[in-house]
Amino acid sequence: MNASAASQLLCASWQEGRHINALPAECRPRTRAQAYAVQAEWPGRLGHALAGWKIAATSVAGQNHIRVSGPLAGPVFAHRVHADGAVIALTHNRMRVAECEIVFRFARALAPRAGGYDRADVLAAVASVHPGLEAPDSRFIDFERAGEAQLIADCACTNDMVVGASMPADERMDTLKQLQVHARVGDGRELHGLGANVLGDPVEALVWLVNELGAHGRTLAPGHFVTTGACVAPIPVAPGDVVSADFGWLGTLRARFC
């Protein structure tokens, strides 16, 4: 498996706004380890810094939809991170969904270590928590059938991320699974969800991400964030739509799509 060739093809697809059927057999990853090796090539090839990390497929429904055995981790690039109120282009986005997510930002590094990290370890490293809205996309035309390894190599469908204002990481971290999230689209659609839709608890999803990255030799750096997956079912969006999300005590944010 040629990780360099795979990353070159995927990065070029993203930069050029095109999609592919599959990676060629000679550079197609077959295991999660091979897939994360492809992922690791992206920052140097793109020339863009990492802003953080994302988790895809944090619900059973999401896992079934894209035919994977569990959640997937991937990087989020700084040049595709936006502030509250951003305008997000859908020109080259085939997925065309918005996802309401809970985002954690780290105050200190968590490097790989034997035995991994538990909940207390991870929360002790968190500086703040934020509302977030993701507009994912895949480089694969038929992403539902691309398979786990190709989707990890594809950085778990990384694309655009809106991150809202910060709140302190205090005792309310233990209540995030009960957090009610309400989304409204400008055309009148309303959708509702819970923090518990993210692997049962967004904090547990965060712990999973830290240990998944550590198992593959990756470090979470100070200032990096982790967006933990959709609390509300993915919201179909089209150019002209405005999505507003209310995360209760965590705050609100909105994005317009064009």
- Give the domain CATH number at 23: 3.90.850.10
Q: Which structural domain, as residue segments, surrounds residue 27?
A: 3-257
pLDDT number for residue 136: 96
Q: Reduce the secondary structure of the chain to three states and give it as a string.
A: CCHHHHHHHHHHHHHHCCCECCCCHHHCCCCHHHHHHHHCCHHHHHCCCEEEEEEECCCHHHHHHHCCCCCEEEEEEHHHEEECCCEECCCCCCCCEEEEEEEEEECCCECCCCCCCCHHHHHHCEEEEEEEEEECCCCECCHHHCCHHHHHHCHHHCCEEEECCCEECCHHHHHHHHCEEEEEECCCCEEEEEHHHCCCCHHHHHHHHHHHHHHCCCCECCCCEEEEEECCCCEECCCCCEEEEECHHHCEEEEEEC
- C-alpha pair distances (Å), 205 with each of 82, 92, 101, 156, 181: 23, 29, 12, 15, 17
- How many domains is the chain built from? 1
At 66 the pLDDT is: 75
- Identify the CA nearest to 177 among candidates 248, 252, 125: 248
In degrees rounded to 5, what are phi and psi of residue 194? -130, 155
Q: Average pLDDT of 118-144?
A: 95
Q: Does the pLDDT of residue 62 top 90, yes or no?
A: no
Position 65 pLDDT exceeds 80:
no
Rounded to an integer, the average pLDDT of 157-164 is 97
pLDDT bucket at 143, cuts 50 / 70 / 90 = confident
Is pLDDT above 80 for 63?
no
pLDDT at 67: 75
77: left (phi over 0), alpha (psi -120 to 50) or beta: beta
Per-residue pLDDT for 69 more than 80? no
Q: What is the pLDDT of residues 87-126, one digit of tens each?
A: 999 999 999 999 999 999 999 999 999 999 999 999 999 9
- The pTM (predicted TM-score) of the whole model is 0.95
